[in-house]
Amino acid sequence: MFELDLTQPKKVFFCGIGGISMSGLAEILKSRGFDVTGSDRAKSPTVKHLEESGIPVMIGQKKENITPDIDCVIFTSAIHPDNPEYQETMRLHLEHLTRAQLLGQVMKFYKVPVAIAGTHGKTTTTSMISEILLADDADPTVSVGGVLKDIGGNVRLGSDRYFVAEACEYTNSFLSLFPKIAVILDIDADHLDFFKDLADIRRSFRKFAELVPADGTLVVSGDIENLKEITDGLSCRVVTFGRGAENDYHPEDISFDALAHPTYTLVRKADGSKQTIRLDVPGEHNVFNSMAAIAVGDLLEAGRDNEAKALASFGGTDRRFQLRGTFGDSVTVIDDYAHHPTEIRATLTAARHVPHKKLYVIFQPHTYTRTKALFDDFAKALCLADVVILADIYAARETDTLGVSSELLAEKIKELGHDKTYYFDSFEKIENFVRENCRKGDVLITMGAGNVTDIAADLTGEKA
Q: Helix 406-415 to helix 375-382 angle, to the nearest 10 degrees?
A: 60
- Residue 45, C-beta contacts closer than 8 angstroms, at least 6 positions apart: none
Of the listed 85, 88, 131, 166, which one is catalytic? 166
Q: Examine the residue annotation and report whether 166 is marked as an active-site residue of this protein.
A: yes
Q: Examine the residue annotation and report whether 122 is marked as an active-site residue of this protein.
A: yes
| Phi and psi torsions of 277, nearest 5° | -120, 125
- Residue 115, C-beta contacts closer than 8 angstroms, at least 6 positions apart: 107, 165, 166, 167, 174, 177, 179, 181, 182, 183
Of the listed 37, 76, 122, 240, which one is catalytic? 122
Contact 433, 389 (CB under 8 A): yes
Of the listed 123, 125, 369, 371, which one is catalytic? 123
Q: Examine the residue annotation and report whether 11 is marked as an active-site residue of this protein.
A: no
| Phi and psi torsions of 121, nearest 5° | 90, 5
Among all residues, which ones are annotated catalytic?
A: 122-123, 166
